[in-house]
């Protein structure tokens, strides 16, 4: 028998990484690679590129594929045979249209942030008002754009998300996705096919469309799909009953990494912006605030993002200054300074006001006091954000883990504990690849569905 290890891949925007964990969640190996540069060669694809405004000449599909197999080679030889399950997360709304027999892409991929606004009028005419799919970068807009572009001469095709396609390279069973990728956001965020997580199927307004048969079937993240393809297992020295399972999106994988797995546990990400995610027993949506919910088994991952955060800190201080000045802050002392730090006018959550002006005055002479005021003001916005989620019906927050560049600031953590009135700590793990490995671990307890 021997040890059981779990392999998770994260495919981000500029590169990919993996993490291998054991049953206790300890990391046994990790590695990362930048995507190599390949350029599109096929003339057909080239014409398609020319026909689109934001033409993209990189051969992303080849880059992802090569990176996946290079990373498999990076897995230390002695542990390969102990890997019993594999999962992958990818950037949400990165979409491929593939041949439904060979699995090979029929077109270059539609990238996560690419807008297919040509399809927007059609999508708006079939979807409910304000539905998530009603923005140009939604997966559905990408599908409809392709469908209309290709016209009547269509090969049998399938839609897959980035993670689905990469997983297919490993298991060979076409046409499967997970409900995080299929949904991404249930309302008002840019990125979804239109899968409705509460009724467990695609909505009827989508089922009656001529391209409905292109949509993949949907399983929970971390569900076994099939065993690793024999040729892959043999080539790289993985065991033949190593199971490949459904993945998720990159941001959900990052949340899973923090292991905030009880309702009331939350992760605040202090990067350029302030993003919060809370595990809730109830699903909430509010398009005014850009608040939406992802399903996670029998619970909901509720989230929202404020424009405040590290971006403004970076405009005012270097990271080195931040560290030095923070050391001198007394976090048990409340700051009387009341700011609303924003890099430019406009806020959505927890205040929905597109014209909200940044407030960073009066500026005290002492920079320690100034920084204290800013950190404390951002903490108040964070508190207000969690309060708003509760008002909208989410489970009350009980404990906050922290990710992102601001997480290393111990003084800020103390300030936030005082302002939030909750235990706050730095998340032990924040890598999406670690979250994907946890999904692989989850799949190890289950049978492959027939």
* Residues binding ligand ADP (CB under 6 A): 271-272, 310-311, 313-314, 319, 322-323, 326, 404-406, 408-409, 412
Q: What is the DSSP string of 257-326?
A: HTT--STTEEEEEESSSEEEEEEESS---BTTTTBEEEEETTEEEEEEEES-SHHHHHHH--HHHHHHHH
Instruction: Report the C-alpha gap between 440 and 247 in whole angstroms.
Output: 8
Instruction: Report the C-alpha gap between 281 and 286 in whole angstroms.
Output: 17
Minimum distance from residue 321 beta carbon to ligand ADP (Å): 9
Where does residue 144 fall: left (phi above 0), alpha (psi -120 to 50 degrees), or beta otherwise? Answer: alpha
Q: What tokens does 287 get?
A: 């398009």
Q: Which one, 197 or 309, has the nearer CB to ligand ADP?
A: 309
Minimum distance from residue 320 beta carbon to ligand ADP (Å): 9
Helix (H) or strand (E) holding 149: helix 139-150
On the CB side of 355, how many CA atoms lie within 13 Å of its CA? 0
Minimum distance from residue 241 beta carbon to ligand ADP (Å): 38
On the CB side of 395, how many CA atoms lie within 13 Å of its CA? 20
Q: Which one, 198 or 410, has the nearer CB to ligand ADP?
A: 410
Q: What tokens does 203 get?
A: 């909505």
Q: Which one, 393 or 405, has the nearer CB to ligand ADP?
A: 405
Q: Which one, 83 or 378, has the nearer CB to ligand ADP?
A: 378
Minimum distance from residue 13 beta carbon to ligand ADP (Å): 11
Q: Which one, 158 or 385, has the nearer CB to ligand ADP?
A: 385
- Name the nearest CA neighbour of 392 among 275, 287, 243: 287
Residues with Cβ < 8 Å from 437, sequence gap 6 or more? 6, 7, 8, 18, 19, 20, 21, 87
Q: Where are the alpha helices (DSSP H) in 161-248?
A: 162-171, 179-183, 204-207, 230-236
Minimum distance from residue 271 beta carbon to ligand ADP (Å): 2
Q: Which one, 238 or 412, has the nearer CB to ligand ADP?
A: 412
Instruction: Report the C-alpha gap between 414 and 265 in whole angstroms.
Output: 18
Q: Which one, 188 or 251, has the nearer CB to ligand ADP?
A: 251
Q: Which one, 91 or 138, has the nearer CB to ligand ADP?
A: 91
**350 prior amide bond cis, ω within 30:** yes
Count CB-CB contacts under 10 A for residue 348.
18
Q: Which one, 244 or 432, has the nearer CB to ligand ADP?
A: 432
Q: How deeply is 124 buried, as exposed, middle or buried, from its count of CB atoms within 10 A (0-12, 13-18, 19+)?
A: middle
159: β partners: 97
Q: Which one, 272 or 446, has the nearer CB to ligand ADP?
A: 272
Q: What tokens does 357 get?
A: 């002006």
Minimum distance from residue 291 beta carbon to ligand ADP (Å): 20
Minimum distance from residue 14 beta carbon to ligand ADP (Å): 12
Minimum distance from residue 311 beta carbon to ligand ADP (Å): 5
Minimum distance from residue 359 beta carbon to ligand ADP (Å): 18
Minimum distance from residue 269 beta carbon to ligand ADP (Å): 7
């Amino acid at each position: 028998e021997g040890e059981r290890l779990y392999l998770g891949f994260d495919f981000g925007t500029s590169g990919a990484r993996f993490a291998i964990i054991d049953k206790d969640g300890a990391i046994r190996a990790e590695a990362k690679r930048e995507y190599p540069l390949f350029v599109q060669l096929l003339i057909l694809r080239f014409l398609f590129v020319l026909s689109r405004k934001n033409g993209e000449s990189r051969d992303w599909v080849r880059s992802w594929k090569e990176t996946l197999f290079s990373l498999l080679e990076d897995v230390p030889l002695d542990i390969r045979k102990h890997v019993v399950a594999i999962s992958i997360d990818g950037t949400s709304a990165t979409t491929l249209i593939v041949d439904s027999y060979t699995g090979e892409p029929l077109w270059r991929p539609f990238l996560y942030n690419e807008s297919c606004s040509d399809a927007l009028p059609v999508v708006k005419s079939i979807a409910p008002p304000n539905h998530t799919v009603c923005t140009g970068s939604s997966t559905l807009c990408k599908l409809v754009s392709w469908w209309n572009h290709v016209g009547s001469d269509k090969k049998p095709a399938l839609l897959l998300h980035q993670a689905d396609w990469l997983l297919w390279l490993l298991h060979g069973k076409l046409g499967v996705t997970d409900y995080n990728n299929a949904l991404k956001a249930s309302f008002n965020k840019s990125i979804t096919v239109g899968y409705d997580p509460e009724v467990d199927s695609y909505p009827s307004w989508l089922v009656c469309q001529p391209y409905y048969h292109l949509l993949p079937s949907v399983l929970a993240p971390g569900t076994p799909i099939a065993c690793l393809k024999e040729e892959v297992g043999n080539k790289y020295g993985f065991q033949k009953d190593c199971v490949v399972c459904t993945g998720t999106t990159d941001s959900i994988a990052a949340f899973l990494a923090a292991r905030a797995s009880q309702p009331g546990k939350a992760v605040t990400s202090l990067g350029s912006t302030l993003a919060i995610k809370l595990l809730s027993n109830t699903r909430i949506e509010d398009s005014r605030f850009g608040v939406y919910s992802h399903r996670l088994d029998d619970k909901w991952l509720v989230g929202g993002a404020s424009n405040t955060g590290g971006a403004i800190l970076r405009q005012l201080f270097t990271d080195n200054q931040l560290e030095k000045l923070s050391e001198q802050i007394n976090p048990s002392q409340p700051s009387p300074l009341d700011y609303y730090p924003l890099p430019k006018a406009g806020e959505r959550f927890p205040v929905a006001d597109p014209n909200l002006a940044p407030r960073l005055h009066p500026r005290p002479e002492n920079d320690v006091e100034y920084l204290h005021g800013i950190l404390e003001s951002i903490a108040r916005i964070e508190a207000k954000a969690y309060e708003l989620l509760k008002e909208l019906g989410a489970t009350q927050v009980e404990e906050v883990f922290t990710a992102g560049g601001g997480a290393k600031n111990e003084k800020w953590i103390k300030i936030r504990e005082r302002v939030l009135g909750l235990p706050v700590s730095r998340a032990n793990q924040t890598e999406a690849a670690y979250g994907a490995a946890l999904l692989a671990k989850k799949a190890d307890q289950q049978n492959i569905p027939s």
